[in-house]
Amino acid sequence: MFEPLKGFFRGSRGGQPGGNPPAYSPSGARLPANGRGSGEPTHSTRPSRGLEEFFVHIRDTTGLTILDLGGATQKNVSFITDLGHRLYSEDFLRILHEAFGPDDAADQTNSGRIEYFLKQTLDYPQGHFDGVLVWDVLEYLNPVLLGAVVERLQYIVRPKAYMLAFFHSDDKLEEVPSYTFRIEQLNTLEIIQQGMRRPAQLYNNRSLEKLFGRFESVKFFLTRERLREVIIKV
Amino acid sequence: MSSMPPARFEAEPRGGAATLGKAVKVVGQIFSREDLYVDGEVEGTVEALEHKLTIGPNGTVRATVKAREVVALGTVQGNVEATEKIEIRKDAKLTGDIRTARIIIEDGAYFKGSIDIVKPEPAKGAPKAQAAVPVGQAAPVSAPASANSPEIKR
């Protein structure tokens, strides 16, 4: 049913049949249940070419339907609705933890669990959305679950619409900073970092092109946080 | 004989709002003509069209909700229409579609669903200015207080 992408990605961590090993902090302690780490969050604001590109396609129209997979935040809700759009909010990572356990150790290849997860997060009609803010959530999915999620996204987003996704660009990292993204302006993001988190796999340009190979186009922007901002045209 | 005075129940003040306490469960329809504070459980529909509905931290509302203003501190499952504004406070959990003029979401709140911002239309034919009530003169009360209590239909 879902095309397995396991083992394809550089630095893939999906090698264990039972799913990913639990996430650990640098000190060896297990990361908290929400995976977002602990301690005081750090805030920074920076320009975002990816965000700018995303808004180029939706800012001059009103009444579009936008999906935000990063959970509801005041800034994002206000920004999108002030543009005259309808916003759908899904706290994707929270539901991921509910579906697969607090440390994502449960089997992300189990088709029953995958179906349940998709029902909880992306159960929408075909072509329902005119844009998706994916942020960095895809980094935490193992290849089988990732394939299913990307397939479902392609189904629920209308053709020619755009999605914005972020991926860390350093393929040697064991852990990556855990971020929350808040929209400041059409081309500016507030980035809140709280703790570290272990991605399920890491990506390079080639693997991202392959991941989104069935979409019309993929465009990359590299940021100073060593994040790839990726605009995907459905 | 005990010298202790008899215990008296005093409802926690909610700014004049009618209160459904945390040990109360209502299944059915609630129509309220005053502000309403729900700290218990409600299944069905809740309408307080001209008033404020607050779902307290212990409150669980599985209902279609229509009110002038909604403040969620507890759990809401169902579609919510708030003509003026809705506030989803930290630790609140709201699953459903929202239609409102203004929304406030605190960090830590959980929300799943859609948000439609509907700007209120100015009332047609409304007088431009209301007649002022002279200082020191109280406005007439049109109905006894009991008539404003929530009406519960089962």
The residue among B79, B80, B86, B115 with the most chain A CBs within 10 A of its CB, best to mutate, is: B115
Distance of alpha carbon B32 from alpha carbon A142, whole angstroms: 50
The residue among A67, A68, A81, A194 with the most chain B CBs within 10 A of its CB, best to mutate, is: A81
Q: Which domains does chain A have, with CATH numbers?
A: 28-233 (3.40.50.150)
What pLDDT is recorded for position A24?
31
Q: Is B111:B96 a contact under the CB 8 Å cutoff?
A: no
Full 3-state SS string of A140-183? HCCHHHHHHHHHHHHHHEEEEEEEEEEEECCCCCCCEEEEEEEE
pLDDT in tens, chain B (154 residues): 444 555 444 445 566 789 999 999 999 999 999 999 999 999 999 999 999 999 999 999 999 999 999 999 999 999 999 999 999 999 999 999 999 999 999 999 999 999 999 987 766 655 544 444 333 333 333 334 344 556 665 5
Identify which of B105, B92, B110 has the alpha carbon closest to the alpha carbon of residue A74. Answer: B105
pLDDT in tens, chain A (234 residues): 444 444 444 433 333 333 333 333 333 333 333 444 456 788 889 999 999 999 998 888 889 999 999 999 999 999 999 999 999 999 999 999 888 876 655 678 888 899 999 999 999 999 999 999 999 999 999 899 999 999 999 999 999 999 999 998 776 767 888 889 999 999 999 999 888 888 888 888 888 999 999 999 999 998 877 789 999 999
* Backbone φ/ψ region at A233: left (φ over 0), alpha (ψ -120 to 50), beta: beta
Distance of alpha carbon B84 from alpha carbon B101, whole angstroms: 5
Q: Is A52:A229 a contact under the CB 8 Å cutoff?
A: no
Residue B141 token pair: 């009360």
How crowded is the C-beta side of A63, counted as CA atoms within 13 Å? Answer: 0
Q: Provide, as residue numbers in chain A, all residues whose Cβ is less than 8 Å from the Cβ of B116.
A: 86
Give the CA radius of gyration of chain B.
18
Q: What number of other Cβ atoms are within 10 A of residue B7's Cβ?
A: 6
**ipTM of this complex:** 0.77
Tracing tokens 């990359």 back to the chain, one arrives at A220
Identify which of B91, B118, B87 has the alpha carbon closest to the alpha carbon of residue B104. Answer: B87
Is the Cβ of A91 closer than 8 Å to some Cβ of chain B?
A: yes
What pLDDT is recorded for position A95?
92
What pLDDT is recorded for position B126?
52
Is the Cβ of A81 closer than 8 Å to some Cβ of chain B?
A: yes
User: Which residue does chain A place closest to B100, by CA atoms?
Assistant: A81
Q: Provide, as residue numbers in chain A, all residues whose Cβ is less than 8 Å from the Cβ of B115.
A: 77, 81, 86-89
- pTM (2 decimals)? 0.78
Residue A180 token pair: 């929350």
Contact B115 A87 (CB under 8 A): yes
Contact A88 B114 (CB under 8 A): yes
Q: Provide, as residue numbers in chain B, all residues whose Cβ is less than 8 Å from the Cβ of A88.
A: 113-115
Q: Is B109:A94 a contact under the CB 8 Å cutoff?
A: no
Q: Provide, as residue numbers in chain B, all residues whose Cβ is less than 8 Å from the Cβ of A63.
A: none
Q: Select the residue of A78, A82, A90 nearest B112 (Cβ to Cβ).
A: A90
Distance of alpha carbon B26 from alpha carbon A80, whole angstroms: 37
Beta bridge mates, B67: B48, B82
